[in-house]
Structures are given as C-alpha cells and as structure tokens.
Structure 1
C-alpha cells in the first residue's frame, strides 16, 4: 500500500492510537490499540519492516532510559522521599498558602527535573493534595502548580521528560551542555508560571490555613537522596565518556532496588510494574505509526513550513509551531514529527521545538499524557480543578507568557554556551 491510501490509513490509525491513549476505554493500557495499529501498518506495507525495525531500534535506548528513571522514582517514593517532602511543606509553610505555593513550586520543579514529570504527576501530586487537606487550605492552586510544572519544569535535564530524551538523542549535545543551554529557559518558564499562578489564584491563596502544622524536624531519606545525587553525577560522567546515560539510570535504580528487596519494602513484581512496560510498548508502537505518517507524505508538508536557521525569529516560529501541534496531536507525536526536521539546522532549533512541546501542553488536557494523568488523579481524589474551561483559560495566559520569555532565554544561552 502506497500513496494517498497509505497516508489516510496512517493518519486514521494515529488518531485512533491517540484517542485510546487519551480516553483509555475500559481502563485499557495505551498499548492495546497502538501495538496492533503498528502491526497493521507493517502488514499492509504502509511502512516497511526495515523502516519499522529501524524506528524501534532508534527509540529503544530512549525507552530503556525512561524505564530506569521510572523505577528510580518509584523506589525513592518507597524510601519515603515524597512523604518527607509533604511533611516539610506542611510545617515550613506556617499555615500561609502563598508560602506553601512557593514550596510546592520548588519541590515540583526539582522533582520534575531530576526524577521526570511522571514522578511529579503520579507521586508528588497526591502528596500535595494530602498536605493541603491536612492544613485546611484550598488545594486548587497547589494542585495546578504540580500539573503545570510537570510540563514546564521538564525543560532542564535530558531525563526530565520523554520528549527531552528524543530531542537529546537528535541534538548531538552532551548531558552537561544540554543542561547548560536549557537552564536559563527553565528558570524563566518556572518564574513566569509562579507569577501567573500566584496572581490567578490570589483569592484562594488569601484564605489562611484552618489547621496550621508546627514546623518540626523532618528526616529526609539520605540513602535515596545520595543515590539520586550519584545517579545525576553518573549521567554527566557517562555522557562525557561517550556512554549512554541509561547505564547510570539503571545503576541508580539497581542500588535502590537491592536495598528495597533486602528490606522487604518492595517486591520484584512491584519494581517491574514501576517500569510501566505497557507504556513503553506504546511509545515504541507510536513511533512506528508516526514513521508511517511521515513516510507517506506528512514529512514533505511539514518540511515546507519548518524554517531553517537558528535566529531568534526562527526559534520563535519553531516553538510556536511545536506548541500548536502538541495540542492538536499530543506532544509525543509532535516531537517525533518535528525534531527530525529541525535537527539539520543544529541543536538550537531542536531545543526550540522542545520548548514548544513541553510548554504548549499547559493549554489543553490533550497536550500531553502527563496532563491527562494529572486530570485523572484530581478526579479520583475529588479535587475541584475547575474543568477544561479553567484549565484552558489559565493556559491561554501561561503558554504565550512562558514561550515569550523562554525562547529569548534559549537564544541567549546558545550564544553564551
């Protein structure tokens, strides 16, 4: 199958795969539709077996890296890291919601950067909800901070987001230089997020806590923190000597896994579950589906609108295009589509695409899988998040504002480093 029929089938199956990932009918994992869709496209010839296998091979190291980081985050939770963060925020806030918001921003930004956005959504958000409940403060500002920072604070490290891993692999950058280039855009985006959310939720933040908690000594899990610090150092060292940072992530996860199994705080089945194997299969299958879409005509159409160069106007154009595409087809397919087209112009355009696909999803629920998961968690815990209207209205302020400061910050960083 070739030509128009192959392009139409590829687009229909991509829509079906994304629709299943968004809605998850009957609680099915994302891979239930994605894997058969990829197989069908190979079977009918819309993508050749060689091209499909090459795409799987290209994504396999990224997926392995993601699995190790997910396990590392879950084992940190088993060590009590997130619970300790909740106790610290409750005591250190002094019953002042504005101070609590600042603490949530600090913790969520660091957790997202170091342990990935999934850790912020799945592990930190429930802790923040419980902390707000214990203090008797309005939960919505703090919950929104987690949801937004899961996207916008994931700009800093290659490990912070699956989109980062894809961009990192295509950029040709080392771990340290990637981080240096993204540090200023990360700070700019997080700072603007804080200012906008503090102003937007000013009325709710003005209501004092009903049950303030006295500040007290909070014992942080030092072994977990030391392992995370060692893993970060391993990322930098591995990249410097030309070894995949996935090995450092796997080593950190292994250290905590051995400790958890020896202390009977976890089981092999629980650790395997933390690796989210069905989601990893979804990512590989989605890559094949997107490859079919690209090979059957979309690449040419996108190439016609993707500008070349790395000047400030080009960076703005790429970031804006990426943000729009993320909200139309989700940020993961948008990354798979745009990064290969931006890569020939150098690392700057690739990172501009990354700004768009990471900041853009704060506009709609469908922008990223992390946002959809955040919405599911708020529903399960009966938190009033205001629904799609509030999310989009706030996003209409946040997304342009964060892009407006982060793109020039990237342009400056490219010239400094």
Structure 2
C-alpha cells in the first residue's frame, strides 16, 4: 500500500472523530447532528480506513444499545410528564424540612436510584432541574444538589448494565448476566457512594450550614402507572437477561405501554414521543461506532494496546482504570468505550470492569469526559442555575480521583 494511502487511512478517522466530538460539545440542531454523523462515517469508509464488513459489524454491535437508548429516553419522558420526578423531588423536599443537609442526602439517594434504573441521562436532564427548584424553594444554595445529580449520573451508573451505555457496550465482552454484573459491582458502588457523599458534605459544608427561608410546596399530582411499568421493566431486565433477551427489547415494550397509556390521557403525542427518543443522537452513536472502529485499527489503537498492563492485580486494574479515565476525558466516555473495551477484554472480566470504573467514575473528572456532563450544564443553564466550569472542575478534581482509587481497591478485593 502506498505511504500516502496508509497516512490517509490513519488521519481521516481522527479528523472524523474530532468533527463528531465538536458536534457533541456544540449540540446543534438534530438534522445537523445527523448529517455530521452520516458524513463522518461515509468519509471513513470512502478512505478505506474501515472495511465495509467491519463497519457493518460495528453497527450490529451497537444496534441493541441504541434501541435501549431510544426507548429508555421515551420511558423517562413519560415518567416526567406523569409527574414522577416532581413527586419524588417533593417527597425529598418535605422530608428535608428546613435542613439543607437533608435535602442534599435525599437528592443524592434519589439521583443514585434514577441513574440506576432509568440511566444517567434521566438524572441530568429530568431530575436535576426539579432538584434545583426544590433547593431554591428551601431558600438554600442550589449548588450542592446540582453537583449531587451530576456526580451520581456518572458514579452511580456502575450497578446495572442498563445504568449507562458504557456498561451495555461492554456487556458482550464480559460474559456476565444482568444479575452477575450487578453482584460484581454492588460492593464497588457502595464504597463509591460513601466517598461521594462524604466529599459533597465537606465541599459544600458552608452552603449546607447557611440560613433557609422555606416555603410550603404544594403536593404535585403523580400517576402510579409509570411507577408500576418501570418496576416491571426493571424486574424483566434481571429475569430475561439469562435467557438472552436484550434489555432494549424489554425497554421497547415498556416504552410502548407507557406511550399508549400517556397518549390516551393526553400527556404525550406522536411528535413529542419522537422528540423524546432523540433519533438524531441514535444516528450519532452509530456513526461514532464506525469512526472509532477506524481509529482503533490505526496508530491510536496500537498505542493504547501498548499501554495496557500485563496482569490484573490491584496495580494492573488501577492502570486500566486510569487509562480508561484519560481516554474518556480526551474522547468522551462513549468513544473511549468503543476503543478500549475490546482491547482490555483478553485480560479478563475484571479488567473490563476496571475499565468501566474509569469510563463511568473517571468520566466525571472534566467537562469533556461524558456526554452527561454536557447535558447537565446545558439543562441547568435553562434554569439559570448552571455552575461555572471552574466550579464543576473544583468538585470533580477533588472527588473523582479518590472515588476511582477506592472503587478499584474494592473491585480488586471483592471480585
């Protein structure tokens, strides 16, 4: 192969990836996002950086994950329109009384639960605004609860395969069932939650000790049907996973049931359902998969492979987690997952789990580490309560390294 052709095949995927990441940061209109994703994948294929067969394999690998993404977003949207998030925030607010510390604790637990069951996007897009509104109603700083939602969106997404797209993408390389994944990650998550909560209490101790001017909020109406459907969906994830049923099929059924119910009650229509599904982002993820396949086949993949440790003791798992953290913050965690998980899989399931610690917890280190970080700040900007980048990184740099170290230690000890 001529050197010029080889150079082109090395460079084009990197340029295409840069274009996709820039698009993710800027979050343009849906049609622009779709066009950039399709064009980036087409250019990579045209340059010969990825054979057509490999590109199709990447799309097939991602398709079940994208199906879950699309349908779980619809489930979360129906829950929001039915008042589930507002009612949950009301319960936390009432329990907190006039104490900001209790409001933080309640929001922290609620954000962890929402992330675990409905994925991290629901936490940053749907829960964070109502949590901020609850803090404002209490007359206290909104910063502690805003950061609690973001920290839990990344760090609490460890427990279930459905809690984060990174987990779903890694699941085929783990050879673990839904239940086995949860059992492996449960002690790790427990340790991380302790670190995160204690860290937030210390970092925001002044705001949490400040005076309040509480009002008496009205109890919002909430429909029980979404709660029942979500509960059944979660049970089905665990029961059907050993039978080989993908989570995306379960969430599709749940979404269909909820949309039919909500449509009859006038809560959602066809256009709102399509908007909630974010089809442009689905296309973006598929295009990203093709582009990252080209990057992985080039010099970047070789460099990452050379940096992998030879063992899976504590030091080896820590090295994997740190490498995944660095890649997540350079490429976003979704891109990094597609790149690093296939490379660490030969080391064993513990190495893949360690990579997920870096891809989930570690992605909270910088603004660019996770798409959830971008969505969180963009969502709160609409409420006028978005913390600045300096504030975001002050919290993340203080908590993320400690959480990651504790998580790796717990994984090494228990798995």
For Structure 1 versus Structure 2, the TM-score category normalised by the shorter chain is over 0.9
Instruction: Please report how far the alpha carbon of residue 89 of structure 1 lies from its aligned counterpart in structure 2 after TM superposition.
Output: 1.6
Q: Is the 8 A contact 1:66 1:159 kept in 2?
A: no
Aligned to 1:195, what secondary structure does the other structure show?
Answer: helix
Equivalent positions of 1:17-416 (< 5 A) are 17-25=20-28, 30-213=33-216, 221-383=223-385, 385=387, 387-414=388-415
Aligned to 1:138, what secondary structure does the other structure show?
Answer: coil
* More deviation, 204-213/321-330: 204-213
Separation of aligned partners in 2, 1:267 and 1:311: 53
Q: Is the 8 A contact 2:377 2:386 kept in 1?
A: no
Aligned to 1:154, what secondary structure does the other structure show?
Answer: coil
Instruction: Please report how far the alpha carbon of residue 29 of structure 1 lies from its aligned counterpart in structure 2 after TM superposition.
Output: 5.2
Separation of aligned partners in 2, 1:2 and 1:152: 42
Equivalent positions of 1:7-18 (< 5 A) are 7-18=10-21
Q: Is the 8 A contact 2:192 2:403 kept in 1?
A: yes
Instruction: Please report how far the alpha carbon of residue 331 of structure 1 lies from its aligned counterpart in structure 2 after TM superposition.
Output: 0.9
Separation of aligned partners in 2, 1:201 and 1:67: 36
Please give the per-residue CA displacement for 1:150-208, whole angstroms capped at 9, x wherever unaligned.
11111111111111111113211100000111111112112211111111011111113
Q: Is the 8 A contact 1:362 1:398 kept in 2?
A: no
Alpha carbons of 1:145 and 1:26: their partners in 2 closer, same or farther (altered >3 Å)?
Answer: same
Q: Is the 8 A contact 1:47 1:291 kept in 2?
A: yes
Instruction: Please report how far the alpha carbon of residue 229 of structure 1 lies from its aligned counterpart in structure 2 after TM superposition.
Output: 1.1
Q: Is the 8 A contact 1:117 1:150 kept in 2?
A: yes
Q: Is the 8 A contact 1:111 1:120 kept in 2?
A: yes
Alpha carbons of 1:275 and 1:27: their partners in 2 closer, same or farther (altered >3 Å)?
Answer: closer
- Tell me how many residue pairs correspond in the alignment: 412
Gaps of 5+ in 1: none
Aligned to 1:365, what secondary structure does the other structure show?
Answer: coil
Q: Is the 8 A contact 2:30 2:280 kept in 1?
A: no
Separation of aligned partners in 1, 2:227 and 2:310: 43
Q: Is the 8 A contact 2:71 2:248 kept in 1?
A: yes
Gaps of 5+ in 2: none
Q: Is the 8 A contact 1:167 1:350 kept in 2?
A: yes
Instruction: Please report how far the alpha carbon of residue 345 of structure 1 lies from its aligned counterpart in structure 2 after TM superposition.
Output: 1.8
* More deviation, 112-121/263-272: 263-272
Please give the per-residue CA displacement for 1:202-227, whole angstroms capped at 9, x wherever unaligned.
1111113212437x977753322211
Q: What's the TM-score once normalised by structure 1's chain length?
A: 0.95
Separation of aligned partners in 2, 1:290 and 1:267: 36
Please give the per-residue CA displacement for 1:214-264, whole angstroms capped at 9, x wherever unaligned.
7x9777533222111111111111112122222211121122111111212
Separation of aligned partners in 2, 1:275 and 1:309: 41
* More deviation, 43-52/335-344: 43-52
Separation of aligned partners in 1, 2:262 and 2:29: 33
Separation of aligned partners in 2, 1:264 and 1:169: 39
Please give the per-residue CA displacement for 1:7-41, whole angstroms capped at 9, x wherever unaligned.
11211221121012112357865333222011111
Aligned to 1:86, what secondary structure does the other structure show?
Answer: helix
Separation of aligned partners in 2, 1:83 and 1:390: 26
Please give the per-residue CA displacement for 1:133-158, whole angstroms capped at 9, x wherever unaligned.
22211101111111111111111111
Q: What's the TM-score once normalised by structure 2's chain length?
A: 0.95
Aligned to 2:399, what secondary structure does the other structure show?
Answer: helix
